[in-house]
Structure 1
Amino acid sequence: MTAVHPLLEDFEVPAHARGGQVTLNLYDHLAAYVPRRPGAHLRISSDRFGLETGVDRQLEDAEDSRKRLRWGPFAKVYRENDTSAFKKRKVIRPDGTIDWIVLRPEFRQLLADLAAGVIDGGIFYDLDRLVRQPRDLEDLIDIVEYVKRPVTGATGGRMNLINDNDRHMARMMCVMALKSSEDTARRVARQHLSAAQNGIAQGRIAYGWIHKGEHKGQLIPDEADLVVRIYEDFLSGETAYAIAKQFNAEGIKPPEARTGSSNMINKMLRNPRYAGMVAYSGRHRVGGKQIADGWSLVLFDDDGRPYLGTWEPIIAPKVWSQVQFELQRRRQKAGTSPGKTGPAPVRKYFLTGRKASPQGSTTTRTSASLHVLAPF
């Protein structure tokens, strides 16, 4: 035992303050910490039917790792079922700035809980299940470095982010996983473009056609008549709000909503699929789609002609085009610049209740002129 310096005689140090030593092998020391309230992170990119069998299997492997490490029972399990760690979404922040981020509430909750001490460590199934974007990985690493608590993988060499060498390896693996996701996205986007150019509908089937089953894509006459009515009423001078209000008053149930809205009506008015034209807004589009412009959804060939779909149209292309010009005219009259949304005024004759058509004459409904019964 070394001699006590005279200045330290009768000098008492409380027990909780006796851990101020240093070591050149810091990360081994930190990795030796045994969490008592660890968390488990599980993620599956696609689970169409919500069975969660994939994340359940991951939880079994995470439990095995927890027991092997002799950690305490999981305090929280963060399930990201049917959740992409790659696809970004446009987010408008309260100050008006725009960012593109991956929306992962459970992952963000894990970060918050680790930083706040709700959990004191973590086990993830594998790095490619944990993150696909370097930004997310760096956010996690920042917190691990701050709280100095282990976060380790159940598979893939059991990487532990408390170790600086493992962190650098994780960064390289994350970039490789990102490249793999981008390669897959490119191939899928090419397939979607090819399908669109061949007239195959992409995405959800719009209101007016059967959505699923062996008759998927076939026309529903009653719904098609309502679509026709929407276009007629709009061309006769009605606003989207007035049309939605009238439909609600009549008890007409809108697609996938309790009540109709002007936003829903405007989307239907801009949808080129109703005119039998292919809509495409994928990654190969040179110009981005505009919020209030249906033309930016139409897919054109090299000669400037719209691609036609294989489905039965409801509205004649000429009528759909007239609606787009009328939408543009109303936006400009309201002082709304192209590509933005805004109120659309209705022109009325002075001292009368009659609304004017785009050509300036009063109109009446003419269903036969709008409803196309066969592909053109």
Structure 2
Amino acid sequence: MVDQPLPVISYARISSDTEKDEHGVEDQHRTNGATARRLGWSVVAEITDNDLSAAKAGVTRDGFEAMLRALRAGRLPDGGAVRGAVVVADDRLVRRAGDYERFVDALTYDDGRVYADARGPKNLYSEDVEAMGLFGVVISKIEVRKIQRRLRDNHRSRAERGVPVGGTRPFGWNEDKRTLNEAEAPYVRQAIRDLPRGKSLTAICAEWRAAGLRTSLGNEWTLRSLKLTLWNPRVCGWRNYRGEILRDEEGAPVVGQWETIVTPAEWEAVDAVFQARRGRSVGTGQEIGDVLPENHSQARHLLTGVLRCGRVHEGKMCGTALRVSRHKDCKSHLYVCPSKAAGGCGGLGRQGDLVEEYVIEAVLARLEERQARAASAEPWDGEERLARLVAKRSRLSEEWQNDAISDDVYFPGVKKIEAQLKELRAERHRRQAMAARAGETEDVRERWKGLHVSQRRALVFEALHAVIVHPAGKGRKPFNPDLLVPVWKEE
């Protein structure tokens, strides 16, 4: 009676373009097949996990998991017997100790299983062989971490030199990522100048779509992709590294090796707008926020979301945002409180044109007053403090590099300085944004008629939290502006 060849699984994995060029997955399976034949085994299944890392936690290799199930059961899903596995090398199989232990447990679940790589068979039932395998996994993990550290150091070095990174080209630049795309850059420049003036992301996104613009990947523009493009400090020549502006030892932003679309001051105005909106909105309980909403939608009416119902309902003020409605007996639109089913009280309404006329006049007067105060305000006095902290951080770093101070002194000290620097820079951004917005409100009364509705709404939100609309009583009453109570933003 002739012994039948032992049925085994061939496992292969490649995870980079270099590996694909040098020895593709077909070559690995071919090598595994030659090893199996030399040992008198027969490959009954080829399993591949292409483009999946064996070193990263959280990565699921479906092929690897299927092989473990087959080894533990001793058979394939179609019922075919399995008595072992063959791979090119251990590091093609696992790079994490936990995965190696799972593989050994599955393969040795029954007696008589076999395992081999290109160098020959290994007896995984031997404790010494299993220990050597685990040791190899540890060495492989150390090497992976060295590679990852070298990559991080290389990325950091490229960032500090201002070298453009790989990946898809940024919108506004050509494929070299250095020279401006003359067809795209003007749109980015105009949007960055319009946003602090009150134009909404929604309006800008609609204009870009109407102009037929597409992202670098050829997709339609969304609010998120537009926001990321305008908020990227690359537009002014700076580099964002791990969520922060990359700075040199003197605290100055590192300037990249590419052409800029706008000035740093123009980008900082946009940054201040987005920072002010971050994570803030009107809550579900209709409580009034204290900063700009996340986005001014392209509403058709000026005071949508601004007017709040002041009718006392069930012992408390309703507070619901008024909605726009129409009535056949009224030439203008109406602002009304939604029905009870829609979350309001349904018991208040006002003629839209009269309310808007009053609120516009009040807002314009407020903005003119603010502009007058900004013109006479003292300049920000934090530059000297900022420079002192930057110099202090540089001295501390120099002492640490010269071993004059220990790690226990350096790291807590530099962490405290970095926190103070971040706070001062945020304050400077806020002051710059206030000055920019005040400058934009200059001659606002003359410019009002030419502004887009989203820009008008942004100016309203600049001045107001809300306007509380109190009930006028039953029946038709003459318009009474005293029943409109603005809730102004403190400056």
TM-score (normalised: structure 1):
0.67
Give 2:34's aligned residue.
Answer: 64
Q: Secondary structure at the match of 2:215?
A: coil
- The one-letter amino acid of 1:138's match is E
For the pair shown, the structure with the greater C-alpha radius of gyration is 2
Give 2:186's aligned residue.
Answer: 225
Which region of structure 1 is more displaced relative to structure 2, 355-364 or 40-49?
355-364
Cα distance change, pair 303–42 in 1 and its aligned pair in 2 (3 A): same
- 1:172 is aligned, of 135, 146, 154, to 135
Answer whether contact 1:245 1:261 (CA < 8 A) is retained. no
- The question of 1:346 aligning with 2:296 is answered yes
Give 1:314's aligned residue.
Answer: 261
- The question of 1:299 aligning with 2:246 is answered yes
Tell me the CA shift for residue 140 of structure 1. Answer: 2.5
- The question of 1:266 aligning with 2:247 is answered no
Distance (Å, rounded) in 2 between the aligned partners of 1:43 and 1:303: 47
Distance (Å, rounded) in 2 between the aligned partners of 1:248 and 1:149: 66
Answer whether contact 2:25 2:48 (CA < 8 A) is retained. no
- The one-letter amino acid of 2:247's match is F
Cα distance change, pair 185–333 in 1 and its aligned pair in 2 (3 A): closer
- 1:202 is aligned, of 157, 165, 173, to 165
Q: Secondary structure at the match of 2:240?
A: coil
Answer whether contact 1:45 1:84 (CA < 8 A) is retained. yes
Cα distance change, pair 39–49 in 1 and its aligned pair in 2 (3 A): closer
- The question of 1:276 aligning with 2:237 is answered yes
Tell me the CA shift for residue 130 of structure 1. Answer: 1.6
Distance (Å, rounded) in 1 between the aligned partners of 2:196 and 2:18: 40
Superposition map of 1:31-46 within 5 A? 35-36=6-7, 38-46=8-16
Cα distance change, pair 266–216 in 1 and its aligned pair in 2 (3 A): closer
Tell me the CA shift for residue 250 of structure 1. Answer: 3.6
- The one-letter amino acid of 2:261's match is I
- The question of 1:118 aligning with 2:76 is answered yes
Q: Secondary structure at the match of 1:123?
A: strand
Q: Secondary structure at the match of 1:265?
A: helix
Distance (Å, rounded) in 2 between the aligned partners of 1:67 and 1:125: 14
Cα distance change, pair 332–46 in 1 and its aligned pair in 2 (3 A): closer
Distance (Å, rounded) in 1 between the aligned partners of 2:112 and 2:277: 59
Distance (Å, rounded) in 2 between the aligned partners of 1:122 and 1:226: 58
Answer whether contact 1:198 1:309 (CA < 8 A) is retained. yes
Cα distance change, pair 102–162 in 1 and its aligned pair in 2 (3 A): farther
Deviations 1:43-83 (A, max 9, x none): 23321695574323222210111212333333233142x44
Answer whether contact 1:151 1:162 (CA < 8 A) is retained. no
Structure number with the higher helix fraction is: 2
Give 2:45's aligned residue.
Answer: 75
Cα distance change, pair 206–49 in 1 and its aligned pair in 2 (3 A): farther
Deviations 1:90-127 (A, max 9, x none): xxxxxxxxxx5235444344334545642723211101
Distance (Å, rounded) in 2 between the aligned partners of 1:143 and 1:252: 54
Answer whether contact 1:326 1:358 (CA < 8 A) is retained. no
Deviations 1:285-341 (A, max 9, x none): xxxx3xxxxxx2x211222211011111112211211111111211253279xxxxx
Counting matched residue pairs gives 298
- The one-letter amino acid of 2:276's match is R
Distance (Å, rounded) in 2 between the aligned partners of 1:223 and 1:236: 21
Superposition map of 1:325-364 within 5 A? 325-334=272-281, 344-346=294-296, 350=303, 351=356, 358-359=437-438, 361=441
Give 1:102's aligned residue.
Answer: 59
Cα distance change, pair 253–162 in 1 and its aligned pair in 2 (3 A): farther
- 1:84 is aligned, of 41, 53, 67, to 53
Answer whether contact 1:224 1:314 (CA < 8 A) is retained. yes
Tell me the CA shift for residue 185 of structure 1. Answer: 2.2
Give 2:196's aligned residue.
Answer: 235
Deviations 1:141-187 (A, max 9, x none): 34334466746232245335454432221111000111112122222
Answer whether contact 2:236 2:260 (CA < 8 A) is retained. yes
Distance (Å, rounded) in 1 between the aligned partners of 2:112 and 2:170: 50
Answer whether contact 2:209 2:221 (CA < 8 A) is retained. yes
Answer whether contact 1:149 1:162 (CA < 8 A) is retained. no
Answer whether contact 2:170 2:177 (CA < 8 A) is retained. no
Distance (Å, rounded) in 2 between the aligned partners of 1:148 and 1:319: 72
Specify every segment of 5 or more residues in structure 1 that has no aligned partner in the other structure, as ranges.
1-31, 89-99, 282-288, 290-295, 337-342, 366-376
Cα distance change, pair 243–85 in 1 and its aligned pair in 2 (3 A): farther
Tell me the CA shift for residue 84 of structure 1. Answer: 3.1
Cα distance change, pair 187–49 in 1 and its aligned pair in 2 (3 A): closer
- The one-letter amino acid of 2:186's match is D
Answer whether contact 1:61 1:154 (CA < 8 A) is retained. no
Distance (Å, rounded) in 2 between the aligned partners of 1:154 and 1:305: 54
